[in-house]
Every structure is written in C-alpha cells, then in structure tokens.
Amino acid sequence: MSKMRLLIVPFALLTLVSCTKDKGDTTPPKFVSATVQGESENPIYLNAGTAIGVMAEVSDNEALKQVKIDLHDDFDGHDHNKAGFTPWTYVNIISVNGKSAVAVDTTIIPEEATAGVYHAVLRVLDKAGNEGEFVEKVLIIKNGSEPIISVTAPDFSATPQFAPGDVISLAGSISDVDEFEEIHILLRQQEDVDHYITFGEREFDLADQNVSSFDLSAVSLTIPTDAKAGEYEVAIIAVDKLGNQGIYYGHLRVE
C-alpha cells in the first residue's frame, strides 16, 4: 500500500506541471502610470488646434507587445446632426517590448474639432495575447466657440457643504455666440471615471428659440432627503446649434 502512494504522488505532480505548461502566460500586463499633457487627474482641459501628448508606462511579467491609444468624443447624442458638427477621433497603436516600457505619442487636435467632452482610452497587450485593465481619461476640448458658463453662487471653489434635503440655488449665466440647442443641469455622484448616479436633472430644450443667453438664477436643485454623506457634483452642459458643448463641474459635500 505504501508503494502505491509513492507511485501516485510523482504522477500527480507530473500531470500538474504538464497542465501548467500548456496554459502558458496568462498574467495580463498593467499600466504603471498614464498621463495626458502631463496630467493624471480628470478632467483634463485642452484647446483645439494645439498638441496633445499621451504618455503610458506599462509592465508585464514576460513580454509586452503594444499600447493602443483611442481618443474619441462622448457627446451622448447631443449633436442632432447639425451642420458644422465635427467631432474628433484619433487611434494609434504603439509597439512596445520587454517587461517594462514607456509609450509616448503626440498629435494635433484639429482646429475645427467640436468643443465638448472626449475620452482617452488606453489599452495594453502582451505577446501572449493577454490584455490588461484599460485606463480612461476625461478630456474637455475647447475651440473658442463653445458656450461660456459662469457660476457665481454657490462658491464651488470652496467645496460648499449641504445637508440632505437642502436646496442648491444657482446664480450666474450662460452665454454663446450662437443659439442654444439645449441645457442640462444635473446633481450627481461619481461611481467611477465615466459612471454617475444622477439624483436630479433640469433640462431646457431651447432649439429654434433664438436664445443665446441663459440666467442660472432661475434654476435650483434639491438634495434628496436620503442622500448619503460624501462628495457630489453639479454638472452644467450647454449645447449650441453647432453641437459645441460648454462644460462646468462644481463640487460640493453632503454631511
């Protein structure tokens, strides 16, 4: 009986080694760091007609293969196929080697790019075909023709505090060289880079009304009575008839 055990154990070990060897490299590569124009915190503000630089430091347990850079708009259908609407996209794949590498890329944002929210999505692949977790950056591109949003109250630069059930009364204005198409004002809380829980939204459909200025003092948002403590955001998105977006983010705390 004891001899049988001695024979079985080596066979089991050989089987385990064989299976492991067949699987090969299954460890995905990863991003060590990633920046756009040297910035890592979202959002990152850029101007049309200027250069945009992307840098990604990546690593793998065996051998890297490539880094993919994908820049595209996130307009959520707020374009209405208007004449002059020219969202910008850019994709580049950079070959990398070794266990660690730095991928660097620079391109020019077209002067005619529609203003608004864009995303930079970075992906990394190793030579075994494993793909690491992607990195996403939020970009706000301005072209000089986007709606201008000025919020004078509350003073979001000081991260004001509110309590559940409080009313946030806004003051300020939105102006544009063209007519407004629509305005969205939201109270929301961020879950991750591009996902939010929205607790309240005011929508204003201004298409074909020849409106190019908007008074924010007519707008208020109510914090839900069951809102949990934490950081929240007031987001203002103003879209003009050419599809250009003016973007404003104001942060507050609920205690």
Question: Looking at the structure, do residues 127 and 197 belong to the same domain, yes or no?
Answer: no
Q: Among 142, 173, 198, where does a domain finish?
A: 142
Q: What is the pLDDT of residues 45-83, one digit of tens each?
A: 999 999 999 999 999 999 999 999 999 999 875 554 555
Mean pLDDT for the chain? 89
Q: Cα 3 to the chain's mean position, in Å?
A: 63
| Sequence-ordered list of residues with C-beta below 8 angstroms from that of 194, at least 6 positions apart, any chain | 74, 119, 136, 138
On the question of pLDDT at 13 being above 90, the answer is no
Amino acid 77: pLDDT: 57
What pLDDT is stored for residue 231 in this prediction? 95
Both tokens assigned to 176: 């544009």
CATH number at 38 reads: 2.60.40.2550
pLDDT at 112: 94
| Whole-number pLDDT of residue 76 | 72
Q: Which of 189, 140, 148 lies closest to 172 in space, CA to CA?
A: 148
DSSP letter, residue 114: P
Q: Which of 142, 162, 194 is the last residue of a domain?
A: 142
- 138 lies in the same domain as 160: no
Which structural domain range is residue 233 located in? 148-254
Q: What is the pLDDT of residue 81?
A: 54
The answer to whether residues 123 and 227 belong to one domain is no
What sign results for the dihedral spanned by CA atoms 134, 140, 142, 146?
A: positive
Question: Which of 165, 166, 71 lies closest to 122 in space, CA to CA?
Answer: 71
Strand (E) or helix (H) holding 2: helix 2-23
In the predicted structure, residue 115 carries a pLDDT above the cut 70:
yes
State how many domains the chain has. 2
Separation CA 223–CA 218 (nearest Å): 17
Amino acid at 250: G
**Global model pTM greater than 0.75:** yes
Point out the domain boundary residue: 127, 142, 157: 142
Of 197, 250, 244, residue with least CA distance to 224: 197
Cross-strand bridge partners of residue 67: 94, 124
